[in-house]
Structure 1
């Protein structure tokens, strides 16, 4: 742990702020400082801003949002993918195996792009070996039912 970590505590890791130049004035007002110091500028350039020693995270986020500054809390990956709004939009999805079901907390990337007239969800799972062979031979390769039955009888498929 560095001296800065000891001074500011672990709570600094709960928020990081990326602000555009025109948003820095709003940030200055919310932090309560008349001007940024060299240390503040260094923190803004890539390190967590230690505002949580003075203000709780939800208060900082609410104040910035009230002034039109886009922001969100920094979360652990497991917490982020479990977000109810992401799950409801299909941006993340609970993973399901057709034979084994689901496991609590097993969530993967969904489809964050939604089209107005196109399906953008996922199939329930991959087919088992040979499950779609008749479909492929019939619809993609143009085989007749009799030809496919012959291939099955010969053990080719």
Structure 2
């Protein structure tokens, strides 16, 4: 996979922490973690000759993915119609906030704006507080799974028919797929869901409860290291197992005899469970409840980096980055028996693979590459 970008308009994540060493476009691990196993091409599409390199790249590629505001690719002379002129069976995916057409096609913003617009913020938080929002550019994260699924379908279609196509994935529409139950509840029953903290209509208790504070690892954080555990009892069997495990006679009260009763007295129920967890470590609570009760530690990043399950499955992979040196990356999210996936390289520094891409993949000569570098059309990483 080749990622094309330019230092004149760098990806904003290249300047987002955390950094390893001095802050800069090639030391941002946030960006790097999302871009492992890619070749980095420094290409300024707006510079003289940029369009021609873009067309050569599209002619070589099986799939082109772009996330510009609608109309930008056309202004570069690289709209879908331009690309299929040189590669008739090309698959192209365009993804943006509202899609390629419509009254808000050019709406400016990021996933941090789209999450509230899609309805997530209205459902996130506590009923007595203002709307909150999921972490980060939420729709940027979840909608890429829809992009991947759409691409798999298009590639399958191409293999069977030889036909390419242009895919238009709007984050707005994709995000709503994750709110289907709430949309249907309004449509069918006229019932509007509201913010309810960590609670669930189908489980009680259902929340996070504080345990005894823990110690930071050597060189870790400052102040108190809070430790929490998530607990949920959805079935009567899980509820009975919870009562048997923590052995608090208060839970035998008729107020908690059914899910409906527990929901009606949820404040009192949570107070009792919180009193139990407050006297024990997080590990003690999880060991006591699992596997009969749904319970899990609320991990912080230190926990995740040393999690025995992740380490056992080899999910965190150390790679050697050109600037940052050895850094651990998140690995493949699925283990395939017949076609195992591996990370082939660390994320590229900006322009790190320009000469390789142009020369080995696109067939440019060294002198042609030098001319493009001199013209500012392409950029080459210089340590």
Superposition TM-score tier, normalisation by shorter sequence: 0.5 to 0.7
Residues 1:26 and 2:26 aligned together = no
Q: Is the 1:134–1:148 contact (alpha carbons within 8 Å) kept by the matching residues of 2? A: no
TM-score by length of 2: 0.29
- Residue 368 of structure 2 is matched in structure 1 by 151
Residues 1:118 and 2:340 aligned together = yes
What secondary structure, in the 3-state scheme, does the structure 2 residue paired with 1:99 have?
Answer: coil
CA deviation string 1:27-64 (max 9, x = no partner): 0111213525578733667xx73313455543332232
Residues 1:133 and 2:354 aligned together = yes
- The structure whose RCO (Cα within 8 Å, separation 6+) is larger is 2
What secondary structure, in the 3-state scheme, does the structure 2 residue paired with 1:50 have?
Answer: helix
Q: CA deviation at 1:23?
A: 0.6
Structure 1 residue aligned with 2:229, among 8, 15, 22? 15
- Residue 4 of structure 1 is matched in structure 2 by none
The count of residues paired between Structure 1 and Structure 2 equals 139
Structure 2 gap segments, 5+ residues each = 1-208, 214-226, 257-261, 374-383
Structure 1 gap segments, 5+ residues each = 1-7
CA deviation string 1:61-106 (max 9, x = no partner): 22322x533433223233223324313424334564233323xxx7
What secondary structure, in the 3-state scheme, does the structure 2 residue paired with 1:137 have?
Answer: helix
Q: Distance in 2 between matches of 1:57 and 1:87?
A: 20
Structure 2 residue aligned with 1:100, among 317, 324, 339? 324
Q: Is the 1:17–1:44 contact (alpha carbons within 8 Å) kept by the matching residues of 2? A: no
Q: Distance in 1 between matches of 2:211 and 2:242?
A: 21
Residues 1:60 and 2:275 aligned together = no
TM-score by length of 1: 0.60
Q: Distance in 1 between matches of 2:324 and 2:304?
A: 25
- Residue 302 of structure 2 is matched in structure 1 by 78
Q: Is the 2:359–2:366 contact (alpha carbons within 8 Å) kept by the matching residues of 1? A: no
Q: Is the 2:211–2:229 contact (alpha carbons within 8 Å) kept by the matching residues of 1? A: no
Q: CA deviation at 1:134?
A: 4.2
Q: Distance in 2 between matches of 1:128 and 1:56?
A: 45
Q: Would the alpha carbon gap of residues 68 and 121 (structure 1) be closer, same or farther in structure 2, given more than 3 Å must change?
A: farther
Q: Distance in 1 between matches of 2:210 and 2:314?
A: 36
Q: Is the 1:14–1:73 contact (alpha carbons within 8 Å) kept by the matching residues of 2? A: yes
CA deviation string 1:87-131 (max 9, x = no partner): 3424334564233323xxx755433322221314352231552x4
Q: Distance in 2 between matches of 1:128 and 1:20?
A: 49
Q: Is the 1:90–1:111 contact (alpha carbons within 8 Å) kept by the matching residues of 2? A: no
Q: Is the 1:17–1:71 contact (alpha carbons within 8 Å) kept by the matching residues of 2? A: yes
